[in-house]
Amino acid sequence: MAEMGSKGVTAGKIASNVQKKLTRAQEKVLQKLGKADETKDEQFEQCVQNFNKQLTEGTRLQKDLRTYLASVKAMHEASKKLNECLQEVYEPDWPGRDEANKIAENNDLLWMDYHQKLVDQALLTMDTYLGQFPDIKSRIAKRGRKLVDYDSARHHYESLQTAKKKDEAKIAKPVSLLEKAAPQWCQGKLQAHLVAQTNLLRNQAEEELIKAQKVFEEMNVDLQEELPSLWNSRVGFYVNTFQSIAGLEENFHKEMSKLNQNLNDVLISLEKQHGSNTFTVKAQPSDNAPAKGNKSPSPPDGSPAATPEIRVNHEPEPAGGATPGATLPKSPSQSSLPAVVVETFPATVNGTVEGGSGAGRLDLPPGFMFKVQAQHDYTATDTDELQLKAGDVVLVIPFQNPEEQDEGWLMGVKESDWNQHKELEKCRGVFPENFTERVP
């Protein structure tokens, strides 16, 4: 029996809920069609808009904070692996090995502490802040349903009030068939019964209206107080959240900076112990090509860039075997070829021609060291480079700052430009050595 009673109560509640949904749906349709007025509260609607905006902002902040934490964790893992690599390559006999290992341990602990504090002071606070929104959102929706119930009860009561005059007219003049068919003595009782029934319906409607109004107003008053307060609280929450994140990040970087400085000191000590084995990072040129920044010019394929120039005269060998210069011996296979004669030139030292007649000071640029001749065309790619054509003679001079000289590059001025302008600043430039050959 108890089970039957329980099922009966449950069935009654279900039926009541179904009826409420039907009544609300009907009321909504009438309101949309303009056949029933709807209670409006613009101030409350503005509060609801602010609530939805605040919820959206908070949800986004929570998402971005979780992404930030994931990035911190990823950086922690990357830093840990980098330090593990350092520990592996740091040989046992190197000074500072223990200090480097301790720094790696402290680095790992610092990352873990930073991540945990972000969770405790930012993420958990964020979760607590957003935890209040679902309940309020549910109450806002319930208030909307209760407002529909209130409007429906109000319209029902107003319709009964409008029909009151019609009921009074029925008492004065019977209009129903039942009243017309009833005996005279019975008509008074019927009229009294109709009046009593109408009054009962009107009283019930009035009670339903009062009840619906009370429920709605209780919820409405609470939300009218909570929503503005929640909206104003966002400022303090954002301030506290970002202050916590900024403070934690500032302290983290301070401590991490100290560890990095300690590691730098350890590595400097290691460098001093092995100073002669310092590894200099520089660009790797291609074969026989100089390195200047990111440029690695190389002469055309098959060109004897580094081969000293030998000038030959295809002339018959004199009868006495004497030649103007040194004569190379013939090989059996060269018996039918003319002798190869190497021309010799007087050496030039510091602008002075040594040996031979007419030796004296030449008009050469300051610091002149030697001459080279371009064997291939070279197109300059920077304003500080010389544009060369095959056959151009270049007077080589030293760099003003020897540290600026890149391997495989020389400083000089084309002989034609020097003879014409005599202005070193405008004419000098750098050029790749392997595009030229040294000449006497």
CATH of the domain at 64: 1.20.1270.60
Residue bearing the bigger pLDDT, 196 or 348 = 196
| Single residue among 240, 275, 310 that ends a domain in this structure | 275
Residues 53, 168, single domain; the answer is: yes
Residues 243, 351, single domain; the answer is: no
- Give pLDDT tens digits for 206-238: 788 888 888 888 888 889 899 999 999 999 999
Residues 358, 235, single domain; the answer is: no
Mean pLDDT calculated for residue range 142-157 = 83
For the chain, the domain total comes to 2
Residues 171, 57, single domain; the answer is: yes
On the question of pLDDT at 400 being above 90, the answer is: no
Mean pLDDT calculated for residue range 371-384 = 91
Decide: residue 51, CB within 10 A, 0-12 exposed, 13-18 middle, 19+ buried. Answer: buried
Residue 334 is assigned to a structural domain of this protein: no
Percent of the chain scoring above 70 in pLDDT: 63
Residue 188 is assigned to a structural domain of this protein: yes
Residues 262, 370, single domain; the answer is: no
Would residue 408 be called left, alpha or beta, if left means φ above 0 and alpha means ψ between -120 and 50 degrees?
left
Q: Which residues pair with 378 in a beta bridge?
A: 388
CATH of residue 384's domain is 2.30.30.40
Residues 345, 256, single domain; the answer is: no
| Residue 352: φ, ψ to 5° | -115, 130
| Single residue among 275, 298, 324 that ends a domain in this structure | 275
Decide: residue 314, CB within 10 A, 0-12 exposed, 13-18 middle, 19+ buried. Answer: exposed
Residue 236 is assigned to a structural domain of this protein: yes
Average pLDDT across the chain, whole number: 76
Residues 235, 355, single domain; the answer is: no
- Give pLDDT tens digits for 106-135: 999 999 999 999 999 999 999 999 999 999
Residue 291 pLDDT level (bands cut at 50, 70, 90):
low
- Give pLDDT tens digits for 41-50: 888 899 999 9
Residues 72, 212, single domain; the answer is: yes
Residue 204 pLDDT level (bands cut at 50, 70, 90):
confident
Residue bearing the bigger pLDDT, 88 or 41 = 88
pLDDT at 32: 62
Residues 219, 107, single domain; the answer is: yes
Residue 289 is assigned to a structural domain of this protein: no
Residues 236, 137, single domain; the answer is: yes
Residue 302 is assigned to a structural domain of this protein: no
**Which pTM value belongs to this model?**
0.50
With b for 16 or more beta-carbon neighbours within 10 A and e for fewer, the 235-271 pattern comes to eebeeebeebbeebeeebeebbeebeebbeebeeebe
Residues 180, 95, single domain; the answer is: yes
| Single residue among 243, 275, 307 that ends a domain in this structure | 275
Residues 78, 180, single domain; the answer is: yes
Residue 369 is assigned to a structural domain of this protein: yes
Number of Cβ atoms within 10 Å of the Cβ of 206:
15
Residue bearing the bigger pLDDT, 190 or 263 = 263
Residue 167 pLDDT level (bands cut at 50, 70, 90):
low
420 is in which domain, residue-wise?
Answer: 341-439
Residue 111 is assigned to a structural domain of this protein: yes
Residue bearing the bigger pLDDT, 325 or 204 = 204
- Give pLDDT tens digits for 233-280: 999 999 999 999 999 999 999 999 999 999 999 999 998 887 665 555
